[in-house]
Amino acid sequence: MSTRVLTGITTTGTPHLGNWAGAIRPAINASTLPGTDAFYFMADYHALIKCDDPARVARSRLEIAATWLAGGLDPERVTFYRQSDIPEIPELCWILTCVTAKGLMNRAHAYKASVDQNTAKGVDPDDGITMGLFSYPVLMAADILMFNANKVPVGRDQTQHLEMARDIAQRFNHLYGGEYFVLPEVVIEESVATLPGLDGRKMSKSYNNTIPLFEGDAKSLRAAVMRIVTDSRQPGEPKDAEGSHLYTLYRAFATEAESSAFRKELEGGMGWGDAKQALYERLDRDIAPMRERYQALMAHPERIEDILQAGAEKARKLATPFMAQLREAIGLRRHTAIAVANKATAKKSSKAARFVSFRDDDGTFRFRLLGADGQELLLSRSFENPKEAGAVMQRLQAIGDQDILHVDGLAYTAVLDGAAIAQGPAAADETQRDALLAQVRQALAAQG
């Protein structure tokens, strides 16, 4: 059985060397692992939260797609698409918004940080805060839940958003009485490489200290490497390899043997100029072939578009029927379906009684028997796995109205093989209890 893994990439900038080593390269490598069903998407709706420059967003979408493809992502093996090409995602986002507590969004780190900054400035707490920023975690939840991803690799700063996605999924499942959404697991990428930039701080466009990946040509890459800050030790003086940004960058791309040799040369007195040249040559050995593919793709954006449209079609084959199922669950049914259901109900109202299964907050599995009016008539005990719960539910359906109900004070219990497997609701008095017993027996008879 495959594990579905989903990763999103916000389209607000041009990928640099740090993005490649820290996120893109490991994700592409992970997509080749057996048993992995990988979904990679460009989060261009998310980009609108951070950027209001249309040209920048459009350019970034193209550059990021070209980077992933040039880096070796196989669109035949994975599902690679743009968020904005899947109309079911914003539809699901609205549905999830309607079941998400505002208090949950109030606790989002990004929103709280913006409020704190405004408070420190002495301005209105919500100054400059858009609904996009405020409800960002709901859109992220829709991205994940739309395809029922099992695992979502994120940095530690994104953990809260995954926890929120789980909370929202549980709320929906509970509210509508079904296992519609898988609860995604957070995968913290502790081993992801964080590369130093030109000044030694984390490589980031915010610090203006990045090394280009494909921008420009080999000369641009070499020029950037030559600007890396080093200490004042002269050629012939031993260098501190572990404390050197050059060595950290070199090690992120080289083999163990190559890294060991480079370290010895630094500790043996290699000059910083020669070390930078060696780093440039090692980087360009990996980057040059990818840069050539990148430039070919950027010269023919229609090729990228064809790949993304094929990815969107692949993704929508899952999203469209799933959204139809969700629309049915929340009552947005077609009128023809309602008419057929009403006709069947008129013939035999007890047919509306039904079993529904769900996953509880503790990870165990349970089921309910709901009456024609939606009232809970039975709630099962917890089961360790869904097959066990399903087997018991099927037995109850087959048994029908046989005498399995036992009065327990003002409540009642369903018993199979001498063990209590489900409990009825507590009544206010014996009259109400007996009425519930009659209703549950009728509902079970309709199942049999």
Binding residues for L-tryptophan: 143
Q: How far apart are CA 381 and CA 385, in angstroms?
A: 12
- Residue 262 CA to residue 252 CA, distance in Å, equals 12
Cite the annotated binding site by residue number.
10-12, 18-19, 143, 155-157, 195, 202-206
Residue type at 310 in one-letter notation: A
Secondary structure letter of residue 202 according to DSSP:
B
Strand partners, 369: 355, 378
Q: Which residues are known binding-site members for ATP?
A: 10-12, 18-19, 155-157, 195, 202-206
In Å, how far are 18, 57, 431 from 14, measured between CA atoms? 11, 10, 71
φ, ψ (nearest 5 deg) of residue 15: -60, 140
Q: Which two tokens stand for residue 25?
A: 């390269």
Listed residue (80, 46, 82) closest to 61, CA to CA: 82
User: Distance between CA atoms of 168 and 93, rounded to whole angstroms?
Assistant: 11
With beta carbons less than 8 A apart as the criterion, state whether 80 and 64 touch: no
Question: Distance (Å, rounded) from C-alpha 364 to C-alpha 379?
Answer: 13
Specify the DSSP element, H or E, that contains 82: strand 79-82
